[in-house]
Amino acid sequence: MNFAFSIQDVLGVLPEIIIALGACAMLILDLFLERDKKEWVAYLGIFVVILAAIASWCLINTAEPYVMGRMMVIDNYSLFFKFTFYLATILTLLLSINYAKSADLDYRGEFYTLMIFSLCGMLVMASGSNLITIYLGIELMALPIYVLVGFLKNDTRSNEGAMKYVILGGFASGLLLYGMSLIYGLTGTTDLAGINAALSAGTVSPVILTLSIVLMAAGFCFKLAGFPFHMWAPDAYQAAPTPVTAFMAVASKGAAFAAIVRVFLEALYPAYAEWQMILAVIAVLSMFYGNTVAIMQTNIKRMLAYSSIGHAGYALLGLVAGTGEGSAAIMFYILVYTLMNLGAFAVIIMMRKTGKVAGDSIYDYKGLAKNNKVVALVMLIFLFSLAGIPPMAGFMGKLYIFMALINQGYIILAVLGILTTAIAAFFYIRIVLFMYMKEPEGEFDLVKSCALYIVIAISVIGVILLGVVPGSLMELASKAALLL
């Protein structure tokens, strides 16, 4: 392996360098700011992310995609996910500014900075072309989120949720790393292209190969919150600060999909027959379990946690298809999922009242349409999109996934996906009924924040546009997808 780095290597990882140095600059700035000025750390974070996005834009269609001794690849697939992460991080930072003030969080500067460090790990995951790089990216992404989940240090639920997440996360990382080590033992390399070539030769032990695939699938599905590796998600989602819940639900899940799709389609595709059924079972169980258990939830963050398990199942179906069309559908779905989830969480944060947490219970939304028709309408848009009701973008996201399955002959899987979508509609529409069909139990004191308005506006526009005219984004995803 050649470790003589060139200027091309540095330019290739310039976005990651900008993010890492920017996070350090945020820590330094935090030292000089008074307690009531900590939002400037978040503004610096947004500026750093924009700089990284500009650097990534300059790398589109780069002549030499492999950098850092083939440890990383700068292709359009990785760049598509990176721009999704940039969008998710900027919107989450905007969500955090008002929340951090109202919750009176200690160490607010570190709160924003940890998100940027986690973003750096996501970028590494998206560009990783080597199992070692991907694993390092996963850990760099996960460690700051462990801290963020337990950031409410005086809240026992937050401490408990973070502890469960750390313990189970360490166990899942061990499974993933052991699976990777078995692959290395079988093929003699950790390079994804090298693994593909070794497996194509057909000289590896099928038993050990299957075991390594099972272990790696388990490790990745923990990060996706797929069944039965979802145990951490409900407690962590409910206990974490709401912006952290939003960040976990969209950015970390998107990063996990960026990595698992690349590993299974680039490195393990010769063993498609071995892992296709494994992932299909996980996807179906995730859809049924997540959407069924979500019906029984009254805490909206916990409901969205179980909902995210179902959404992980839908996206996994695109990987089961095993085609470029399937990977493009996943990319489209992750971006849409980012917009509709962050918009919903923005409304939840807007429901937070001074001195009292409101909006966490589904009953807090009773009569919202009678007091604030605009907020109720945007929440309806996000819930309909999450439920997959046309003409919202969530419907198109599921449609592209199902079409990728049908085109490969997996009609039964598509039918099961449609069935679970009908189940999921119940708990989303129940909140809509509360907003429009019930009388309010008191006055609504909604948070007024320019940052929240920006997040909601961007999310609403994106959800509607991608639902009505999805062709341009899907075409872009198809060009950037991993083609087989």
DSSP, collapsed to helix, strand or coil, labels residue 483 as coil
CA distances from 182 to 195, 213, 265 (A): 11, 9, 18
* Inside any domain, residue 1: no
Token couple for 458: 């961007």
Q: Which residues are paired to 361 by β-bridges?
A: 299
pLDDT at 359: 59
Strands 66-67, 72-73: parallel, antiparallel or unpaired by DSSP? antiparallel
| Pick from 91, 20, 97: nearest CA to 51 | 20
Residue appearing with tokens 């010769």:
270
DSSP conformational letter for 481? S
* Inside any domain, residue 2: no
DSSP, collapsed to helix, strand or coil, labels residue 447 as coil
The mean pLDDT of 411-438, rounded to a whole number, is: 89
pLDDT at 405: 92
Token couple for 320: 């089961």
Token couple for 67: 């950098």
Each residue of 189-242: pLDDT tens digit?
999 989 999 998 877 888 899 999 999 999 998 888 888 888 888 888 888 888
pTM of the model: 0.93
The mean pLDDT of 235-261, rounded to a whole number, is: 88
* Domains identified in the chain, total number: 1
pLDDT at 471: 85
DSSP, collapsed to helix, strand or coil, labels residue 66 as strand
Question: In sequence order, which ranges of 188-323 are alpha helices (DSSP H)?
Answer: 192-200, 206-224, 233-239, 242-247, 253-262, 272-294, 300-321
Interatomic CA distance for residues 477 and 67, integer angstroms: 23
Each residue of 358-400: pLDDT tens digit?
557 888 888 888 888 888 899 999 999 998 888 889 899 999 9
pLDDT at 455: 92
* Inside any domain, residue 454: yes
What sign has the CA pseudo-torsion 46, 50, 52, 53?
positive
pLDDT at 465 over 90: yes
Residue appearing with tokens 């509609």:
425
* Inside any domain, residue 364: yes
CB 341 within 8 A of CB 246: yes
Boundaries of domain holding 44: 7-480
Each residue of 324-347: pLDDT tens digit?
899 999 999 999 999 999 999 999
* Inside any domain, residue 146: yes
pLDDT at 355: 43
DSSP, collapsed to helix, strand or coil, labels residue 86 as helix
* Inside any domain, residue 50: yes
Token couple for 333: 């779905």
pLDDT at 365: 85
Q: What is the mean pLDDT of the chain?
A: 87
* Inside any domain, residue 286: yes
pLDDT at 354 over 50: no
Interatomic CA distance for residues 418 and 400, integer angstroms: 12
Find the distance separating the first CA and the last CA of the chain, reported in whole Å.
Answer: 27
Each residue of 9-38: pLDDT tens digit?
788 889 999 999 999 999 999 888 887 788
pLDDT at 284: 94
Each residue of 277-328: pLDDT tens digit?
999 999 999 999 999 998 988 888 888 888 999 999 999 999 998 888 999 9
DSSP conformational letter for 328? H
Backbone angles phi, psi at 353, to 5 degrees: -105, 160
CA distances from 450 to 49, 65, 101, 350, 409 (A): 20, 40, 14, 11, 48
> Which helix (H) or strand (E) element contains residue 67?
strand 66-67
DSSP conformational letter for 271? G
pLDDT at 117 over 60: yes
Where residue 484 falls among pLDDT bands split at 50, 70, 90? Answer: low
The helix, strand and coil proportions of the chain, stated in percent and rounded to the nearest 5, come to: 75, 0, 20
Alpha-carbon Rg for the chain, nearest whole angstrom, is 21
